[in-house]
Amino acid sequence: MADNLWMHFTRMSSYADAPVPTIARGEGPYIWDTNGRRYLDGLSGLFVVQVGHGREELADAAAKQARELAYFPIWSYAHPKAVELAERLATLTPGDLNQVFFTTGGSEAVESAWKLARAYFRLAGKPTKHKVISRAIAYHGTSMGALSITGLPSLKADFEPLVPSTIRVPNTNLYRAPAGTAGPDGTDAEAFGRWAADRIEEAILFEGADTVAAVFLEPVQNAGGCFPPPPGYFQRVREICDRHDVLLVSDEVICAFGRLGEYFGATHYDYQPDIITCAKGLTSGYVPLGAMIASDRLAEPFRHGTNSFAHGVTFGGHPVASAVALANLDLFVREDLNAHVRKNSPLFRSYLERLSDLPIVGEIRGDGFFFGIELVKDKSTKETFSDDEAEALLRGYLSKALFENGLYCRADDRGDPVIQLAPPLICEETQFAEIEGILREVLTEASTRLWPARPRGIR
């Protein structure tokens, strides 16, 4: 029983008369519950466990550091592992992103980035630059500032009023691009990218460039189901930000550390942010750790006189977490995980694309080891499901059926209904085939429930 455990983002009533699924151990890309049943971890826990479960070298690194120095803050002091990790991250980031501010997670990293943007412009003599632009449906965290930047009204309603001064612009969902924005046939990704980027400039001008501090964008947007950037999108956004003296924040809490086959998504898509926020895969989840990594330019005003960035968290840069992060990065090098993802991403995609023959599968999209499958009511028209239908499909059937068939992943409707997949970076063809097989069985059954008179496999 888990009567005293208040689970996150969980309908507690779901377990009033049913046991809570309880995961007891993991090894490689697999997890086992307390009944000894094995599941493929198709979501890396929560886009976190890049190197797989049960890596003894990471546990050993934690134990060794805990024996040597279990805790000390980085408030006006330092410790060797935080210094070493900051130096190492600075060698991996694009451009001059050399200033590493540690947090314990992604929401804190996003909060830190917004606070830095505000504080920086105040010191630069532009105190009215405080607003933030982000994309529709995008998720940036749960703390009050990060939640304010998030573009999901349903997640925000219970906590309003939130921090003011946030503005939403369209995301890069080409599958549902507004008519005329992606060429005559709706498939011109480059034209759609220009249109979407130009909406950012439109918002800056509407609000007044002297009031906008930053634009927060994920390399591949998570919520809504893995929206990759169209060609040229980020390059155009960079030009817009430069033109109006607005900071570009690359929110890489999910996309960093190998998820897209590079240490950072900005490197993968060849753009230069002013700030990167990251967490999750930095330690592969073995210990909580996040970071805001800023350019030298943004740190410069805080190096003089009595100025300081009056912000911090107790466990940011924790010695044990820093030691584990360093060991995790060693694993990346030793096993060449970024190259493994780049090599195997097309194969992973090819297995998922086999599901396109199912009537419920509308689009498969994503990059690296990060894919979404959008589910539709009608393939020819792209008609989506009503709220009640999505509820019955996702929570009434799919989530439970996928897990019961041995696949842990996410069936979600923040936006249109999707299944999201982000397996550990060590996965190979065996796991891709397993994922495809389980998805085919469950989605075929879902199709027959939706269209009982239609033969299996018929569009």
Single residue among 335, 368, 395 that ends a domain in this structure? 335
Q: How confident is the model at residue 453 (pLDDT cuts 50, 70, 90)?
A: low
Least confident of 4-8, 99-103, 373-377: 4-8
Same domain for 18 and 95, yes or no, is no
Q: What's the Rg (C-alpha) of the chain?
A: 22
CATH, residue 286 = 3.40.640.10
Write down the pLDDT at residue 9: 81
Once rounded to an integer, what is the mean pLDDT over residues 124-148? 97
Residue 203 domain-assigned (yes or no) = yes
Assess whether pLDDT exceeds 60 at residue 14.
yes
Do 158 and 202 lie in one domain? The reply is yes
Tell me if 247 is assigned to some domain. Answer: yes
Domain boundary among 335, 370, 403: 335
pLDDT band at 457 (very low <50, low <70, confident <90, very high): very low
What would the pLDDT profile of 102-135 be if each residue is shown by its tens digit? Answer: 999 999 999 999 999 999 999 999 999 999 999 9
- pLDDT attached to residue 450: 74
Q: Cβ(133)–Cβ(203) under 8 Å?
A: yes
Residue-wise pLDDT for 391-435, tens only, equals 889 988 999 999 999 999 999 888 889 999 999 999 999 999 999
459 within domain boundaries: no
Give the count of domains, the chain. Answer: 2
- Band of pLDDT at residue 294, cut at 50, 70 and 90: very high
Q: How many CB atoms lie within 10 A of CB 304?
A: 8
| Residue that terminates a domain, selected from 305, 335, 365 | 335
Confidence of residue 7 (pLDDT cuts 50, 70, 90): confident
Domain co-membership, 391 together with 439: yes
Question: What six digits make up the tokens of 454?
Answer: 């239609």
Quick one: 90 and 48 in the same domain? Answer: no
Same domain, 193 and 84: yes
Are 209 and 268 within one domain?
Answer: yes
> Does residue 157 fall inside a structural domain?
yes
Classify 166 as helix, strand or coil: strand
The pLDDT score that the predictor gives to residue 320 is: 98
Least-confidence region, from 171-180, 283-292, 309-318, 406-415: 406-415
**pLDDT tens-digit series, residues 215-241:** 999 999 999 999 999 999 999 999 999
Q: Which domain holds residue 293?
A: 57-335
Q: CATH number of the domain at 421, please.
A: 3.90.1150.10
pLDDT for position 454? 53
Same domain, 401 and 295: no
Average pLDDT score, the chain: 95
Name the pLDDT band for 459 (thresholds 50, 70, 90): very low
Distance CA 83, CA 129 (A): 32
Q: What percent of the chain has pLDDT over 90?
A: 90
In a domain, 69, yes or no: yes
Residues 280 and 341 in one domain: no
| Within-domain flag for 219 | yes
In a domain, 387, yes or no: yes
On whether both 116 and 250 belong to a single domain, the answer is yes
135, 243: one domain? yes
Q: pLDDT (tens digit, 9 = 90+) per residue, 326-355? A: 999 999 999 999 999 999 999 999 999 999
Task: For residues 433 and 381, state if they share a domain.
Answer: yes
What distance in Å separates the CA atoms of residue 247 and residue 132, rounded to the nearest whole number? 9
Residue 164: DSSP 8-state: S
Residue 212 has, within 13 A of its CA and on its CB side, a CA count of 29
Q: Is residue 1 part of a domain?
A: no
Q: What is residue 1's predicted lDDT score, i.e. its pLDDT?
A: 61
Separation between Cα atoms, residue 425 and residue 368, nearest integer Å = 9
| Residues 28 and 64 grouped into a single domain | no
pTM of the model: 0.95
Nearest to 303 by CA among 98, 70, 149, 131: 98
